[in-house]
Amino acid sequence: MTITLTQGLLIALWAMISGLDCWLQTFYIFRPIIVCTITGLILGDLKLGVIAGGLTELAFAGLTPAGGTQPPNTVMCGIMTVVIAASNGTAPTTAIGLSLPFAMLMQYILLFFYSTFSFFLPKFDKYAEEGNARSFKRLNYIPLTIVILTFGVVAFLCVYAAQGAMHSLVTSMPRWLTHGFELAGGILPAVGFAMLLKVMLKPQYFAYLLLGFVMASMIPFSNVLPVALVGAVFALIEFFRTKDQKKTEDKLKELESQGGGMDDGI
C-alpha cells in the first residue's frame, strides 16, 4: 500500500491534534488505542488500526511520564505502527518493534523542548511582575505552536516523504531479523501490562485477575466481549461494596462524634 499525499496530510493533521493533547495531557486522545484507530481510519483499514491500537496500548500501559522522565512518544509509535503494518503488509506485532525508533525520535525532540523552553521563563516572570496578563497569555502560545508544528512535520516526513526508504528497509531485512522484531513486538504488550500491575495490583484483587486470565485464555469464546462484561460486573460489585462500606464508616464516625458508639450499647 502506498500512502497518498492526502493521507499523509491528514495523518500530519491528526498528529498535530493528538500531539497537542500529548503535550497538555488533557483529553488523553494521544493514547495508542485512539491514535492507531484514527490512523487506521485515515488509511482505510479500521480493523488494522483497532488491532494495532490494542497491542500498542498494552505495550505502553505502564509507561507514563513522571517527573523528568519521558517514555517513547505514544503518538508517533501509534501512527507508525499502523503505517508500517499497512504500507509493508507486516503484522502489527512486528510493526510495533519497527515503530519504536520513530517514537524515540519524538521522545528526544520533546526532551529538547523541555530544556530550550526554559528560555521563556524570564519573560513569564517579567510579565507576571508587571501584571501584564495579556502578554503572559500570548507568550504561552509560542511553545504550543512550536510543539504542534513539530508533531505535524515529523509525522508527515516519516509517513509520506520517507515511505520509499522505509519500505526498502523493511523488505531488505532478513527473515530472522523480521522474526526478532515480531517476537519483541509480541512481548512488549505483556511487559507493559506487567509494569502496570506492579503498581496497581493489590492482593485482594488478585482473584479477579486470575479469573479473568482463566476466562480469556482457557475458555473458548468467539471474542473477548463476554470477558469484558464479566469484568464490568465485578467492577460494579466492587464499586457498590466500597460505596456501602464508606457509608457505614461515615455513619459510625458520626455516632462516635455524637457520643455514641459500639462501647455504650448503641
Q: Mind listing the pLDDT tens digit for each residue in 96-149? A: 888 888 888 888 898 888 888 888 888 889 988 888 888 888 898 999 999 999
Share in percent of the chain as helix, strand, coil (round to 5): 80, 0, 20
Confirm if 86 and 48 have CB atoms less than 8 A apart: yes
- H-state helical runs in the chain: 5-24, 32-42, 46-59, 74-88, 92-116, 121-130, 133-156, 163-172, 175-200, 206-218, 225-257
Spatial separation of the C-alpha atoms in residues 18 and 96, rounded to whole Å: 19
- In this prediction, residue 10 carries a pLDDT of 95
Residue 51's contacts (CB-CB under 8 Å, 6 or more residues apart) are 92
- In this prediction, residue 46 carries a pLDDT of 92
Cα radius of gyration rounded to whole Å, the chain: 24
201/158: higher pLDDT: 158
What is the SS3 assignment for 99-113?
HHHHHHHHHHHHHHH
100-122 residues labelled b (16+ CB within 10 A) or e (exposed): bebbebbbebbeeeeeeeeeeee
Residue 182 amino acid letter: E
For the cut 80, the answer to whether the pLDDT of residue 68 exceeds it is: no
- In this prediction, residue 263 carries a pLDDT of 53
Q: Is the pTM of this model over 0.85?
A: no
Q: Mind listing the pLDDT tens digit for each residue in 161-194? A: 878 877 776 677 777 777 776 676 667 677 767 7
- In this prediction, residue 234 carries a pLDDT of 87
Q: Mind listing the pLDDT tens digit for each residue in 234-265? A: 889 888 988 888 888 888 888 777 765 555 55
CB burial class (10 A; 0-12, 13-18, 19+) of residue 245? exposed
Set of cell numbers at residue 128: 507576571
Lowest mean pLDDT among 83-87, 93-97, 200-204: 200-204
Lowest mean pLDDT among 69-73, 134-138, 182-186, 224-228: 182-186
C-alpha angle 118-119-123 in degrees, rounded to nearest 5? 105
Mean pLDDT of all residues in the chain? 83
Q: Mind listing the pLDDT tens digit for each residue in 96-110? A: 888 888 888 888 898
Spatial separation of the C-alpha atoms in residues 178 and 5, rounded to whole Å: 28
- In this prediction, residue 64 carries a pLDDT of 65
Average pLDDT over residues 206-221: 82
